[in-house]
Amino acid sequence: MTPIGPQHYLIVSGLLFSLGLLGVILRRNLLVIYMCLELMLNAANLALVALSHFNGKLDGQIVVFFIITVAAAEVAVGLALIVALYRKRQTAHVEDLTALKL
Amino acid sequence: MNYSLISMEIAVVLLGLGLLLADLWLAPPAKVRLGYVAAVGLALIFGWSFTFSGTPSALAFSDMYVLDPLALYFKRFSLLAAIVVLIMSVGFAERIAAGISEFYALILFALAGMMFAASANDLAMLFVAMELITVTFYVLTSFQRARLASLEGGVKYLIIGALSSAFLVYGIALIFGTTGQLNFDQIAAVASKYEDNKIFLLGVFFVLVGLCFKIAAFPAHIWTPDVYQGSPVPAAAFLAVGSKAAGFALLLRVLFTAVPGITNGWNHLLIALAIVTILYGNLCAIPQRNLKRILGYSSIANAGYLLLGVAALNNAGRAAILYYLGGYLFAVLAAFLVILIVMNDAEGEDISVLAGLNQRSPLLAAVLTCALVSLAGIPPLAGFFGKFLLIRAVLDEAANNPACYWLVAVACFGVVVSIYYYFGVIRAIYWSKDPPVLSPIPVPRVLGAALVFCLLGMLYLGLFPNHLVETTQDAVKFWAGR
């Protein structure tokens, strides 16, 4: 059995990232899209932590803390926005975002 | 640790916090005037920034932060934009239901993000500065919670923004994973070893995609018209000027400080990005009737023109970007100021609202015409000289790369198309048949002063470009020689 190396972590994080991207493209509910975006951020976090371990440098793990903090701020603002939109339109589906068109 | 280097940013953040505190004690009418306080504070910081001019490039915070002439140029640019935007916000205050002081404070926090972005010399710094700008703008764009258009614009900005920051973060992870470095200078030192490494190249490409969102260029441009149309006028203006400039500051640093070798190898990709962005922005603007939407598409087109300077791959191109941004600042802010004043008077943002503007207020008509003429690139205003410098820089490179001729041809075609749709607006101002209203539009004195300031800026940069051209060339030369 081969030991787990950086490439395994990269494959898993790449899979997570692609799943998140697929979700953003295919799903129609704003909240689910937002969850998929978080999944993409966490794919990057996983890659950073793992590669930072294999590089023998801590910088990557520090960046992960920044990313978690910023993602928390982004979620706070984002959920507030989605809730405000829901109150106004009674919907959280992307098909209903049609006020702004040509 | 050298805190004196970030003293300007600290001052901006403290000013923002001060506004939030002052909000607790002031009566509502006084809160509106806090915008002037903030603008005066920023003007003082703008003056203070000239005391930093003599210092050569200085690094701080384990080389994450750099203060050089290039950073100073972008900092002054953002400060100037924020001053005009704050004055606009005071004029916009009556249409913001609650929390006008928060609106001012958020503008200041976004400004702090732009100033940090101007000095970023590290991928972590780049990420934090960019997110500070983006998350603040999520709130600014959707500030008119009662308007569905504002909320919808905000949500669209949020989804595309979060998507592109996910790309940016993953790109950072891949770059760090392969090189083990986050600092631009250290990446540059090892990048030549990784030029064939697919993972590293993918990382750089993802970072490029993330930055294209900020500058509103293909492939992350799709949000621009909707968000411009939906957001409050001052937020849209700040988005068009400050956010785009910060994006270009980061793009220049990443492409030419961190990975210059790869950038030179990717010249065809950069040319393709510029071509698609110019064509998309200009062609899609033709059928538009909403003035803010037209400016949104024009903002995409202008990102394309600015990418010309990146694709030129020479110092002249980079200096031309800085000059072009200077002219763009005055033209776009002037256009949004006129929109603000005219739309204060009438609801709706359709071009037809401008009918008879010439009789209603000759000043507004003249300023909007000059702004559009400058954006279109007709002499003698600043936009013409900026485009001239950009195209000349690309032609300098054309000897090495024949694809540059295509780029120049597309840019010229874009200019012709843009004259067509800008002229549609100018025709509405001067030659509308039977304008419905002819009552004069009152122009508040402070907004009028801001208008004249923008007009003078456009004329000055167009007629006497030498001073700014020299400044930008010195800044770029100094940065390239570091």
Whether A102 maps to a domain, the answer reads: no
Q: What residues contact residue B309 under an 8 Å CB cut-off, 6+ apart?
A: B317, B318, B319, B320, B321, B324, B390, B393, B394
The chain A residues in contact with chain B (CB within 8 A) are 6, 10, 13, 17, 20, 24, 30, 33-34, 37, 40-41, 43-45, 47-48, 51-52, 55-57, 59-60, 62-63, 66-67, 70, 73-74, 77-78, 81-82, 84-85, 88-89, 97, 99-100, 102
Find the mean pLDDT for residues B104-115.
Answer: 96
> Among B100-114, B241-255, B302-316, B421-435, which stretch is predicted with the lowest mean pLDDT?
B421-435
Q: Per-residue pLDDT for B164 more than 90?
A: yes
Q: Per-residue pLDDT for A102 more than 60?
A: no
Where does the pLDDT of residue B348 fall: very low under 50, low under 70, confident under 90, or very high at 90 and above? low
Q: Please tell me if residue B151 touches chain A, with a CB cutoff of 8 Å.
A: yes
The pair of structure tokens assigned to A54 is: 């294999």
> Among A24-38, B139-153, B349-363, which stretch is predicted with the lowest mean pLDDT?
B349-363
Where does the pLDDT of residue B55 fall: very low under 50, low under 70, confident under 90, or very high at 90 and above? low
Q: What is the pLDDT of residue B237?
A: 95
Find the mean pLDDT for residues B39-48.
Answer: 94
The CA distance from B268 to B403, in Å, is: 7
Whether A69 maps to a domain, the answer reads: yes
Length of chain B, in residues: 482
pLDDT in tens, B176-205: 999 988 999 999 999 888 888 899 999 999
Averaged pLDDT of chain A? 89
Find the mean pLDDT for residues B461-469.
Answer: 90
How far CA B53 is from CA of A34, A37, B343, in Å, comes to: 44, 42, 40
pLDDT in tens, A11-65: 999 999 999 999 999 998 999 999 999 999 999 999 999 999 988 888 889 999 9
Which 8-state DSSP code applies to residue B439? P
Q: What is the pLDDT of residue B125?
A: 93
Q: Per-residue pLDDT for B382 more than 90?
A: no
Q: Structure pTM? A: 0.94
Host domain of residue A53:
6-96
CATH number of the domain that residue A85 is part of? 1.10.287.3510
Whether A19 maps to a domain, the answer reads: yes
Whether A45 maps to a domain, the answer reads: yes
Whether A1 maps to a domain, the answer reads: no
Share of chain B above pLDDT 90, in %: 60
Where does the pLDDT of residue B93 fall: very low under 50, low under 70, confident under 90, or very high at 90 and above? confident
Angle at B269 between CA B264 and CA B274, to 5 degrees: 110
Q: What residues contact residue B63 under an 8 Å CB cut-off, 6+ apart?
A: B121, B122, B183, B185
Tally of structural domains, chain A: 1
Q: What is the pLDDT of residue B169?
A: 95
Domain range annotation of chain B: 266-482
ipTM above 0.85, yes or no: yes
Whether A101 maps to a domain, the answer reads: no
